[in-house]
Amino acid sequence: MNKATLEILLVNASGIRRTNLIGKAYYYVIIECGDQQRITKLSSSGKDHKTCWNQKFRFEAPLIDWKRRTHLKLTILDTELFKDGEFVGETIIYLGGIVAEGKDREVVEMKPAPYNVVLHDGTFKGQIKLGIKFMTVTHEEEEEAAREIVAAQLPSSTATATQKAARRSSSSAVWEAISSVWKSSWWKFWSYCSPKSGKEQAKVKLT
């Protein structure tokens, strides 16, 4: 069964509504696609009045299900002391075009671009910047990729095992040579220092 992945790169928001008069507000975004939901980290606006997240999120589903996943919804909320989750604005991005193109091309990517943030009364206040990437993948392709990874690792593993065996064999040969020399030297030294027999002592005296 084919499956597809929608990848979202949420960059930042600028010019969005402030719901507090005192103190610093911290914003987060709830991203919804079909029955799946993702939530960003908390972030506050900087000196340039931009609230940055720079986060990636993925939504995966069978390719046939993407016919029903018609849009992506991003809801911006803020949190303050004694308050949580106050509505700031939302953005809806329709996915029909990118899904249709992704089925033919396997990978379609839209570079980060600004989208209007809509208030409850339908007016615009600020923008949210994000990139979208849609990818289709089959089980056969996944299995083939997995086999290629395993095949690429096998020669390396085999070579490593061979190298280890060669090192063990070389070490064993060196040790045997050292042991042989040591035994020979010790035997000569022992023979030289050991008491000679009576006949040998007599021969030495006669000479």
Average pLDDT, the chain: 79
Q: How confident is the model at residue 124 (pLDDT cuts 50, 70, 90)?
A: very high
Same domain, 122 and 176: no
pLDDT at 205: 46
Could you tell me the pLDDT band of residue 163, with boundaries at 50, 70 and 90? Answer: low
Specify the number of domains making up the chain. Answer: 2
Residue 79 and residue 163 share a domain: no
In single-letter form, the type of residue at position 50 comes to: K
Q: How buried is residue 150: exposed, middle or buried, by Cβ count under 10 Å (0-12/13-18/19+)?
A: exposed
**Range scoring the smallest mean pLDDT among 8-22, 31-45, 52-66, 122-136:** 8-22
**What's the rounded Cα separation, in Å, for the pair 203 and 191?**
17
Is 150 within a domain? yes
Q: Tens digits of per-residue pLDDT, 27-67?
A: 999 999 999 999 999 999 877 789 999 999 999 999 899 98
The answer as to whether 164 is a domain residue is yes
Region for 89 from its dihedrals, namely left if φ exceeds 0, alpha if ψ lies in -120 to 50, beta otherwise: left
Q: Answer whether residue 178 shows pLDDT above 70.
A: no
In order, the DSSP letters of 83-144 are EEEEEEEEEEEE-HHHHHHHHHHSEEEEEEEEEEEE-TTS-EEEEEEEEEEEEEE-HHHHHH
Q: What is the pLDDT of residue 171?
A: 56
Whether residues 29 and 119 share a domain: the answer is: yes
Query: Does residue 203 carry a pLDDT above 70?
Result: no
193 or 7: which carries more pLDDT confidence? Answer: 7
Is position 111 within any domain? yes
pLDDT at 94 over 90: yes
* pLDDT at residue 207 in the model: 43
SS3 call for 46: coil
Flag whether 203 is in a domain. no
Run of H or E including 72: strand 71-80
Choose the weakest-confidence range: 62-76, 88-102, 159-173, 186-200: 186-200
Q: State whether 119 and 59 are in the same domain.
A: yes
- Total-model pTM: 0.66
CA–CA dist 116, 127 (Å, integer): 5
Its domain, for residue 182, covers 143-193
